[in-house]
Structures are given as structure tokens and as C-alpha cells.
């Protein structure tokens, strides 16, 4: 079974459970989010990280993101000060990735080697939330932008055609937005728009 079609409003519990099982066994999945498709595995899954790098032809300097279910979960993974807290709370869930210093909860291999930072996001997407919620921990992910392309894939059947043989499961469902997330980098202590994508950035301009 290379793909499942999940209901966009009421994702089928059996498919969600199957996905969680697969992730817990070390599998890698492609799933729709509020900003295109993402390719994901469990946190700490080194082979899964290698699959993601291989599909996207990334080097080992690539910054991964963590897909979180809630603000409480996000707060365990990154160090957030009061002003960042208010901004992130106001913009989530939504198509934003925030780059912040990681806590000890994040495996070292997941952090940016030099800066010890990681991207975190809380997607506004029913299917993603169902999977991350059932898993009970964040998913390690990367936006599914194919080598040589600039936009993420947005159609589940196309994702299955193109990378279905490289991942363990493709979840077919609608994406919220065809653009990648907007990336807000807090590494320097103040917000810098590192990538303009889906989502309003007027707060930072």
C-alpha cells in the first residue's frame, strides 16, 4: 500500500493509526499540510532523515523543521522569550516556520550544526494535526520541493507518482496553500524573514 486517501475533515482513524504505526517502525511519509506537501519521519530517525535528504537531494547543512500539534509541544522543543511567545502564539496554527534555539528535547543531529537551532511549526491542517496528535510527539519534516524546482508539490497523486517508491506512505489529501511556509528566523534575537511564502508577514515589516 503506497498511498491512502484521507478525508480532509474527518480523517479515517484506521488510516491515521496505520500512519502512526508506520512512523513508529521507522517509516518515512509524505503528507499534505497547510502549505504544500511535506516529507516526514519521527524525531531521532536517522534513516528517515537520510531518505528526506535523498528525495530532495539536500546536503547535511539542511535545516529540518518540527511539525508540532500544539503550542505546549512547541514550547518543549525551542527556547522562546516573551515577545517571541506572543508573536508565535498570534500566528499559530498557520503556514509559518520559526527558527529558534533548540532545547535538550531535540536530538543533536536534528539541530543546525553551527547555530543549534531548529525550525518549528504548528500547521493549520486537519490531516497533519490528526497524525501528529495521534503520534503524541512532533514530526521531523521538510517541505517537499523537488530538486531543481522552487514550489512544493501540492497533489497527492503526483507525489505518489514521483516519490511513492522512495517513501513508505503517501497520504493523499488537499493542501491548504500551494506556497511553502513563510520562515521567520529568530537566531539573531530579532525576527528576520528568511523566506516569504504563504502567510502574512506585515507583523515583521
What residues pair up with 172 in beta bridges, in sequence order? 5
pLDDT of residue 186: 94
pLDDT at res. 91: 92
Confidence band for 17, pLDDT divided at 50, 70 and 90: very high
3 state DSSP class of 133: helix
pLDDT for 36 = 93
- As a whole number of angstroms, the longest Cα–Cα distance in the chain is 46
Question: How many other CB atoms sit within 10 Å of the CB of residue 46?
Answer: 12
- What confidence tier does 1 reach under pLDDT thresholds 50, 70, 90? low
Region 113-139: what's the mean pLDDT? 95
pLDDT score at 205:
77
- Cα separation, 20 vs 41, whole angstroms: 10
| pLDDT reported for residue 204 | 82
Q: How far apart are CA 202 and CA 186, in angstroms?
A: 16
Strand partners, 168: none
Nearest one of 59, 38, 35, 65 to 167, comparing CA atoms: 38
The domains found in the chain, sorted by start residue, are: 3-204 (3.90.870.10)
Query: Which residue is listed with cell 528535547?
Result: 105
- Using the predicted structure, report yes or no on whether residue 23 has a pLDDT greater than 70: yes
- Give 35 or 203, the one with higher predicted confidence: 35
**194 vs 23, 126, 150, 183, 186, CA distance in Å?**
30, 26, 15, 5, 10
**Segment 194-202 mean pLDDT:** 89
Q: What is the pTM of this model?
A: 0.93
Q: At what angle do helices 13-24 and 126-135 cross, to 10 degrees?
A: 50
Per-residue model confidence as pLDDT tens digits over 88-112:
999 999 999 999 999 999 999 899 8
Handedness of CA 130, 66, 4, 125 (dihedral sign): positive
Amino acid at each position: 500500500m503506497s498511498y491512502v486517501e484521507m478525508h480532509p475533515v474527518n480523517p479515517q482513524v484506521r488510516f491515521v493509526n496505520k500512519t502512526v504505526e508506520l512512523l513508529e517502525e521507522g517509516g518515512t511519509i509524505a503528507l499534505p499540510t497547510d502549505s504544500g506537501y511535506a516529507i516526514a519521519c519521527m524525531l531521532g530517525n536517522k534513516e528517515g532523515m537520510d531518505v528526506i535528504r535523498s528525495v530532495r537531494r539536500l546536503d547535511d547543512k539542511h535545516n529540518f523543521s518540527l511539525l508540532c500539534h500544539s503550542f505546549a509541544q512547541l514550547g518543549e522543543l525551542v527556547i522562546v522569550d516573551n515577545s517571541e511567545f506572543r508573536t508565535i502564539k498570534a500566528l499559530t496554527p498557520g503556514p509559518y516556520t520559526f527558527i529558534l534555539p533548540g532545547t535538550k528535547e531535540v536530538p543533536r543531529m536534528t539541530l543546525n550544526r553551527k547555530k543549534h537551532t531548529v525550525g518549528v511549526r504548528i500547521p493549520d491542517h486537519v490531516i497533519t494535526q490528526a497524525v501528529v496528535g495521534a503520534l503524541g510527539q512532533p514530526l521531523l519534516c521538510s517541505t517537499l520541493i523537488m530538486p531543481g524546482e522552487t514550489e512544493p508539490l501540492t497533489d497527492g497523486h503526483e507525489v505518489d507518482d514521483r516519490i511513492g517508491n522512495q517513501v513508505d506512505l503517501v497520504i493523499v489529501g488537499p493542501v491548504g496553500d500551494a506556497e511553502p511556509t513563510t520562515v521567520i528566523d529568530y537566531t539573531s534575537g530579532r525576527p528576520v524573514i528568511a523566506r516569504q511564502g504563504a502567510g502574512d508577514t506585515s507583523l515583521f515589516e
